[in-house]
Amino acid sequence: MRTTGGWSTRELARIAGTTVKTIRYYHRIGLLSEPERAANGYKLYRTAHLVRLLQIRRLVDLGVTLADVPAMEESAEGAEQVLRALDAELAASIERQQHMREELAAVLDRPHLAELPAGFGNLPDDLPAAERGLFTVSAQVFTPEQLEPLRNLPDEPRSAVAVEFDTLPADASDETRQSLAERFAPEVRRGWDAHPELLALAQTGGPLVSPVMLRSIAELFTPAQIDVLQRINAILTGG
């Protein structure tokens, strides 16, 4: 490697720990000045260029974007503003990542939570796939405030009648469906009485909510289960 006359682009890139492509890009966006050229037209980079490259690399390692490098150099105030904004962004990122780690810890402990929206760790482990899907859709169409009652439900095992509903055969007889509806209705009523906000949530409509929720129920549950739900509604509303 030459020690006089300057370095070539490739030599400079090797010393600075970067690439020829990066150096050329810095030239193009104005972060690195063009060097003088030898008689044969080759670029001759000096120590000042190496220092400049290393300074840019240092700022990039700190998280400063190339677009913010000029502001860092214009004034002390500009540099402080850029760094404080970067610090705030990193703090928010760390907080998000910490929250993600907490959720991952919960999922590692209870793997079924990976299939549920964030904040629904209160739901029982034996929740059937249809209801998991319904909670997932609900988290998309309802607001966080509307979903708060669902997030605050007690973590209780499913009742015998709820398990019977989960496993209701598609060819269940009319008598079986009616019997299940009559036994399930009081439990639903007790749930509404204990948590009236859930009834309000169920009655929430809108141009997006109603069609999406109705279609989701129709496609997640079997026709026999939907029939039981309709019978329960008729019992509770006197319909």
Smallest CA-to-CA distance from 115 within 96, 136, 99 is with 136
DSSP H helices, 39-128, are 47-62, 69-74, 76-109
Q: Report which residue type is found at 189.
A: R
Tell me: pLDDT of 201 over 90: no
Is-above-0.75 flag for pTM?
A: no
Smallest CA-to-CA distance from 226 within 215, 236, 237, 210 is with 215
| In this structure, CATH architecture of domain 9-62 | Orthogonal Bundle (1.10)
Q: Report which residue type is found at 46.
A: R
For the chain, what are the domain ranges?
9-62, 64-109, 117-237
Please state the rounded mean pLDDT for residues 2-7. 70
- Under the banding of pLDDT at 50, 70 and 90, the label for residue 239 is low
pLDDT in tens, 86-135: 999 999 999 999 988 988 888 888 887 787 888 787 777 778 889 889 88
d(CA 27, CA 50): 13
Give the contacts of 86 (CB within 8 A, at least 6 positions apart): 62, 63, 64
Torsion-angle region of residue 92: left (phi > 0), alpha (psi -120 to 50) or beta?
A: alpha
